[in-house]
Structure 1
Amino acid sequence: MSDPQDEDDGALFRAAIGAVTPLRKVETPAIEKPRPKPRARMAEQDEAQALGEFARLLHSSAPLEAGDVASYRRDNLPPRMFQRLKRGQYSVQDELDLHGANTVQAEQWLRQFLLEAHDHGHGCVRIIHGKGLQADGGVPVLKNLVDRLLRQRNDVLAFHSAPAAQGGTGAVLVLLAQR
C-alpha cells in the first residue's frame, strides 16, 4: 500500500521546495492615464488647406451651366486615352448617384466614393450629379461641386461628361490612377 502523503501533490511539492520566505509587498505604481491616440496632424492640415482652396476655386471661376460639358485631362495622360474616355469606351466599374444630396453630403459621399474606388483598384467610375435644372439661379450646384473637386484630386487622371446613353451632361466618367 502506498502512503497517502505520496499521493498528495501539494505535500510532495512543499517537501521538495523546503521552507519559503514570502516576498515583501511591492507597491504597484499608480495607473497612468492612457496616452491619446496619435493624430495625423499634417494630413489634417493638408485636408483643411485643400478645402480652403476648393472653396476659393468654387467661387472664383465661371460656373458650369446645365448643358455645359465638364471636361478635364492631366498633362501626363495620353490624348488617345482621353478620347476613349470621352466616347465612353471604358468599362465603368462603379457608380455614385448624388441626386437629392445637399452640397455637404455630396462632397462627403464623393470623397468617400473615390477613396473606396481607389482602394478597390477601379480604373473608371461614373458620378451622376444631375443636370441641375432645378437649381437656384440656374447654376447646377452639384455639377460644379463635382467638377471642382475632381480637378483637385491627384488620383483623378481625367474626367468628361458621359455620352448621352450614359447620362450625358448629368454625369461624368472619371479615369482614376492605379495604385
Structure 2
Amino acid sequence: MRAISLQDLGALRQQLKDRAAQQAAQRAREEAERRRREREAAAFAHAVGPVTRLPDRNLHEGGGRPLPPPEPRQRELDEQAALKASLSDEVDLESLLLTDDGLSFRRPAIGLDVVTRLRKGHWSIQGELDLHGLRRDEARDALAHFIHQSHQHSRRCLRVVHGKGLGSPGREPVLKAKVQRWLAQREEVIAFTQATGPQGGAGALIVLLGSRPRGRVPVA
C-alpha cells in the first residue's frame, strides 16, 4: 500500500476546502432567493390588502389529465332556432312545382334533365328520414335538422318519407304539402321529385342537395 505523501494530503485538503466553499455559496444563493420571494409576497400582500382564504371544498383537480374539448352548445342552439324559424307553412309553392308525370321541383338554375335523372334513380340514396307519427312541429324540426346535417356531411341524394295519409282523417296526406313547402325553402335543396313505386311512391320524396361549395349542378 502506497504511503500518502504530504503533497497528496495538501491536494485532498484543497479539494475539501473547495467543496465547502461551493456548498456555502449554494446555501447563500438559496437564502437570497428565499428572501427575494418573501419580499415579493409581502409587497403583493401590501398591494392587495386583507384577503380571506376560500374554504377547501375538496374538489378534484383532474389528476393532470387533459380537459375534454369545449362543445359549442350555444352555437348549436342558435342554429336549431334559425332552422326552425326558417321554415314556414305559408309559402306559395304552386308556381314552383312542375306538373309533369310526377310531382317535382327544381331551382331555376337546374335543368329538367336533373329532375328526370333524379326520378330515374340516377343518384343513389345516401340518407332517409321517416316522418311517420310526428306532429307538424316535430316533423318540421326533424326535416330541417336532417337536411342541414346531410349537407354538412356532403350527402347529396335523400329520401323523405311523409306517408300517404291512409291513417289520417279523410285519408289525406297531412304532411305531404307541408314537406314540399319546407323543402323548397331550404337553400341546400336544388330539386326534389315524388318517389317511384319501389322507392315509396306517393308517400315519399327523393331530394337532391347542392354540392359543397353550393352552386355546382350535378353531372352524370
TM, length-normalised to structure 2: 0.60
Ranges in structure 2 where 5+ consecutive residues have no aligned partner = 1-15, 50-73, 95-100, 213-220
- Which residue of structure 2 aligns with residue 163 of structure 1? 196
Ranges in structure 1 where 5+ consecutive residues have no aligned partner = 29-36, 62-67
- How do 1:111-150 and structure 2 match up within 5 A? 111-150=144-183
Selected match of 1:13 from 30, 41, 55: 30
Q: Distance in 2 between matches of 1:107 and 1:47?
A: 7
Q: Is the 2:126–2:158 Cα contact (8 Å) retained in structure 1? A: yes
Q: Distance in 2 between matches of 1:139 and 1:26?
A: 78
Larger Rg over CA atoms: 2
Q: Distance in 2 between matches of 1:89 and 1:15?
A: 82
Q: Is the 2:131–2:160 Cα contact (8 Å) retained in structure 1? A: yes
Q: Which has the higher contact order (CA 8 A, sep 6+)?
A: 1
- Which residue of structure 2 aligns with residue 94 of structure 1? 127
Q: Distance in 2 between matches of 1:10 and 1:105?
A: 75
Deviations 1:133-174 (A, max 9, x none): 222233311212211101111111100011111111111100
From the superposition, tell whether residues 45 and 107 of structure 1 become closer, same or farther in structure 2 (CA, over 3 Å).
closer
Deviations 1:31-59 (A, max 9, x none): xxxxxx79x98x967963x34xx13238x
TM, length-normalised to structure 1: 0.72
From the superposition, tell whether residues 15 and 45 of structure 1 become closer, same or farther in structure 2 (CA, over 3 Å).
closer
- Which residue of structure 2 aligns with residue 56 of structure 1? 90
Count of residues in correspondence between the two structures? 160
Secondary structure of the residue that 1:101 maps to in structure 2? coil
Q: Distance in 2 between matches of 1:100 and 1:45?
A: 24
Selected match of 2:185 from 145, 152, 158: 152
From the superposition, tell whether residues 7 and 157 of structure 1 become closer, same or farther in structure 2 (CA, over 3 Å).
farther
Q: What letter is aligned with 1:100?
A: G
Q: Distance in 2 between matches of 1:140 and 1:15?
A: 87
CA RMSD, aligned part only? 3.6
